[in-house]
Amino acid sequence: MSMLRATLPPLEPGRFLPPELALFLLARRLYRSVVFVVVGPVLFLFGRGAASPVRAP
């Protein structure tokens, strides 16, 4: 990350981020939220399914 920051031009105060960096941060935030939304219920269902009395032999 420090290497990436070193290659970017210095930002003047009050100026927006470069479009590539803003897009990267937005994509990373969306990716993390999507992973959380997808993995959370799956882990919840598998956790309940393992302890469920229906699957008992």
Span 5-23, pLDDT tens digits: 555 555 555 566 778 888 8
H or E element in which residue 27 lies? helix 19-51
Burial class (CB in 10 A: 0-12, 13-18, 19+), 11: exposed
| Placement of tokens 């930002």 in the chain | 11
Give residue 40's pLDDT. 86
Q: Is the pLDDT of residue 38 over 70?
A: yes
What is the mean pLDDT of the segment spanning 37-51? 78
What's the gap between Cα 37 and its chain centre? 10
